[in-house]
Amino acid sequence: MWALESHCPGTPPETLKEERQSGCVPPTSLEGNSLKKSNWGFLFTGIVGGTLVVVYAVATPFITPAFRRICLPFVPATAKQIENVVKMLRCRRGPLVDIGSGDGRIVIAAAKEGFTAVGYELNPWLVWYSRYCARREGVQASAKFYISDLWKVTFSQYSNVVVFGVPQMMLQLEKKLELELEDEARVIACRFPFPHWTPAQVTGEGIDTVWAYDASSFRRSQN
């Protein structure tokens, strides 16, 4: 009897069914429904918030280059570009560096050709992905990747330099490499040439064009 009164005071047992159908809902049921709605609300908010955090964390390294003084966006190298770079490296020896290595394709291709290759990239997601690809290809011992700003790296220890640049950066990079590279070094530019240097070799067409510059030649031209 107490149970019945707690639901609808003064209601005979035989009318319980009718009252349930007519909207007399037990208070405990109302509380339970309210609690379930509240839990779902917290869960939904948590999912949306977590998703936004993940999207922000992943997207930020790809978007922020557009806000720098020199925008260097990530554009994957084509198979033909990689082939042309490897062609320019024939008969070359010594360590190689890829400036702005992106997803690591050039570094991994060079490592497969026997080079000790290093890639510098500012985007941490691309660096981690490059390391994964190098391990997958079995060249992790000779293909290394580091998170770093190219303007804070010294390239004097490299005999071969590969760069996928943009026109806004080529003049500044030209001056930096002139100061740091040894005479036997070779610089390979993809997509855009250096403004003042005369290439020793050119191969490819359109976006697949690759220019090779020998440090001894561009130093001599500056004197």
* Distance (Å, whole) CA 175 – CA 30: 74
What kind and span of H or E run contains 41?
helix 27-63
In this structure, the strands spanning 210-214 and 201-203 are antiparallel
Residue 203, SS3 per DSSP: strand
* Predicted confidence band of residue 2 (pLDDT cuts 50, 70, 90): very low
CATH H superfamily, domain 79-221: Vaccinia Virus protein VP39 (3.40.50.150)
Q: What ranges do the domains of the chain cover? A: 79-221
Residue 204 has pLDDT above 90, yes or no: yes
Rounded to the nearest integer, the mean pLDDT of the chain is 80
* Distance (Å, whole) CA 217 – CA 200: 8
* Distance (Å, whole) CA 105 – CA 169: 21
58-65 LR contacts (CB < 8 Å, sep 24+): 58/125, 61/122, 61/123, 61/124, 61/125, 61/126, 62/123, 62/125, 65/122, 65/123
Identify residue 96 by its one-letter amino acid code. L
pLDDT tens, 42-100? 566 666 565 544 443 444 444 444 434 555 677 889 999 999 999 999 999 999 999 99
* Distance (Å, whole) CA 81 – CA 203: 10
* Predicted confidence band of residue 219 (pLDDT cuts 50, 70, 90): confident
Look up the pTM and report it: 0.69
* Predicted confidence band of residue 8 (pLDDT cuts 50, 70, 90): very low
The pLDDT value recorded for residue 1 is: 41
The pLDDT value recorded for residue 60 is: 44
